[in-house]
Amino acid sequence: MTGAADDRHSFREISPVRPLGTPSFTFSAITRQADLAEHDQRLDEIARRPDSKPVTSRPLELPPAPLMEMSLVLDDDGEDLLEDARANAHDGRYDIALELLTEYLRDRPEHQEARYLSAFCMYRLDGQDQVTALRMLRPLRDEPMADGLRGQVRELRRALRGRLTPVEISAYARTARSDPRGALERAKAFLELAPEEGSLSYLVALGQAKDGALEQALDTATRGAEEADVDKEQVESLVRTLLLSLLRPAVAPAVKAFKAGDARLARAELSRMDPGRRRNSVVDDLDAYLALCVAGPNRAAPPTPGLPPDRADAVYSLIAEADGQTAATLMQSGHFEAAEHVLARVLPLVSGFSWLNFLYAACLLRLGRDPERAAACAEIARRDATLTQAGELLEAISGWQEATVINPAVAEFVAAMKSAADGASPDRLATLRTRLTTLQRGLPTVRAAARTGQGRQVVRELEEAIVQRLADVADAMAVGALYDRYDAVMAPAAGGIASTAAADRLARSLEELAAVIKGERHRARQGAGRDPLEDLAKLVSARRAELDRVRTGLKVSDVVRRFNDLAKPPPAPFSSASAGLLQPPAPDPYTMRTELSRILGEARKLRRDHGRTLDPEHLKLLDQLIGAISKVLG
């Protein structure tokens, strides 16, 4: 009989645990908002739009009350002419009213009501005189007048601007590249008529800056920021950008000294600036910041400026804008390592500079380096509303942060399971259980690192897989113990079974093992995969069947041996009586017959109970024995 068992342990298949993918981040724009290069970008945006059309809205109506009472210019002459113009305008005969008003204004060009009515008639006639109407109303914007008339002038100007401004912007975009000076002069002329249009001030100032006229551009943008009632914030942002562009060369010596670590020298350099440039709130803020640095020279890093965010950003820009532009250029060309070196050198000097924090966080993400520092920088950048991608960047870094914690745990799980892929000895199973248990103890930390839905899903899958595999390991170790017991039971049979007593002992041991296996299989949890004890149960069943055949064969051999012993002739008598030994007596016929009957009964019972399972040789021998004894007994 054979006793060894192979391929004892196999783990049921479960869905693999996949690592968390590191989120990607792509820049939509890496340069600073309101960079002077934005002029061409804005032109491209305008050029891609459908042809601009005037803003359509319900046409303005004349107020029901006589407008003469709202004018500060009183004149009785020509009153009938003005009355007729009013009546025609109220009746919708705008062409007639306009003729009467033109005649009236020939002698009274300053009359406010008449100018307003003339512009209103041009507006309602919707002809080529729309610009003339806006030009006629432009002086009224600044003249003192009755509140009622002022409100009507304001509404009419707004309506005319809504019609004319989109057309003028489109015209500028179409001709700015082929005739930049001509396009700029036309836009400037219209801006004089509609200074409230911030987008037009923005484009004109950008065009002037692109042409190298930074001072003129700053004047245009400053006036636009003061007078605009639409797109005001955009123009104000451009004012800051242009002002910083003009100041940056002037403060360069002071910035150089500050970067060299000498804040006192930097202040001295500021004091030597041109007085015209020195008298500026941004330079004052920079000087105050340098004073803080002088007062705290033992700090590991410069203090924060203690200014509102926009003013602090201006100070930071004077110090590190050029470094940021250098880093941005390197990043655009894919040189993230070089960009990181530039930013790491200057960022400690301007730790609150949102744009540099944004760039540095993006560099660290791309390089896969220092996720905690990257997250802190992205958090600073997110406070700046102009950095529209800062939130997206922070989200990508958060995903990266959780991946740095979750993925090593997933990798350890995969490696642990691979260690048992080619079969698991008891020692391997014990080692696997230790690795999985250690991993399970660390799951609270891994779970806490999950910040996204995908991260939490991966952690759940890992947790379920560990629980499943620990249960499988426990099953495998229990199976291993039963296989070891099987090997111990079968060890005495390795050299064969010599007696029925040995066979009986082995049979009892196999029956006990079969009962234990049955109990374990009954208690085992049900799940996917093959029953791990099925093979062992089949093996024990096969050995029991084989042992039954061996025991029967031994019994056949035993009855044959006993018959042969009875059938042996008595030994020959000694020839010399001097030996002093007596000759054994002949067998008693009655005793022999009784023993033969007993052997015959046992043989017939073996034939009856085990005839179908006996080996052919044993069956033949048993039949011969039964026949021989039957003849003897007659």
Q: In which element (H, E) is residue 133 found?
A: helix 130-142
d(C-alpha 475, C-alpha 12), whole Å = 11
Q: Which of 551, 513, 548, 547 lies closest to 533 in space, CA to CA?
A: 513
| pLDDT tens for each residue of 535-547 | 778 888 887 777 7
Is residue 20 within 8 Å of 402, Cβ to Cβ? yes
Q: Which has more confidence, 46 or 155?
A: 155
Residue 623 makes CB contacts below 8 A (sequence gap 6+) with 607
pLDDT at residue 1 above 70? no
Residue of 501 and 170 predicted with greater confidence: 170
Q: pLDDT tens across 30-49, in order? A: 656 445 666 566 666 765 65
* pTM exceeding 0.85: no
Give the number of other Cβ atoms within 10 Å of residue 109's Cβ.
Answer: 9
DSSP letters of 39-106? HHHHHHHHHHSPPP-PPP-PPP---SS-GGGG-S----TTHHHHHHHHHHHHTT-HHHHHHHHHHHHH
According to DSSP, the residues that pair with 230 across neighbouring strands are: 197
Q: Residue 459 half-sphere exposure, CB side, CA atoms within 13 Å? A: 21
432 pLDDT higher than 90: no
- Where b means 16+ CB within 10 Å and e means fewer, 146-179 reads eeebbebbeebbbbbbebbbbbbbbebbeebeee
Which two structure tokens, joined as six digits, stand for 486? 């099987």
The string of pLDDT tens digits covering residues 491-524 is: 887 777 777 787 778 788 878 878 877 777 776 6
Strand partners, 197: 230
CA terminus-to-terminus distance, the chain: 40
Amino acid at 261: G
Mind giving me the DSSP string for 6-22? -----PPP-PPPPPPPP
Residue 563 has pLDDT above 50, yes or no: yes
Distance CA 150, CA 140 (A): 8
Task: Quickly state the pLDDT bin for 592 (edges 50, 70, 90).
Answer: confident
Backbone angles phi, psi at 241, to 5 degrees: -65, -45
Model confidence pLDDT, tens digit, residues 53-99 = 555 567 888 877 454 444 444 455 568 899 999 999 999 999 999 99
Instruction: Kindly report, residue by residue over 200-239, the tens digit of the pLDDT.
Output: 999 999 889 888 899 999 999 999 999 998 889 888 888 9
Show the tokens assigned to 342.
Answer: 């530039």
Q: Name residues whose C-beta falls within 8 Å of residue 47's C-beta, 6 or more positions apart in sequence.
A: 173, 174
CB atoms near residue 212 (< 10 Å): 9
* Rounded-to-10 torsion of CA 41, 44, 46, 50: -150
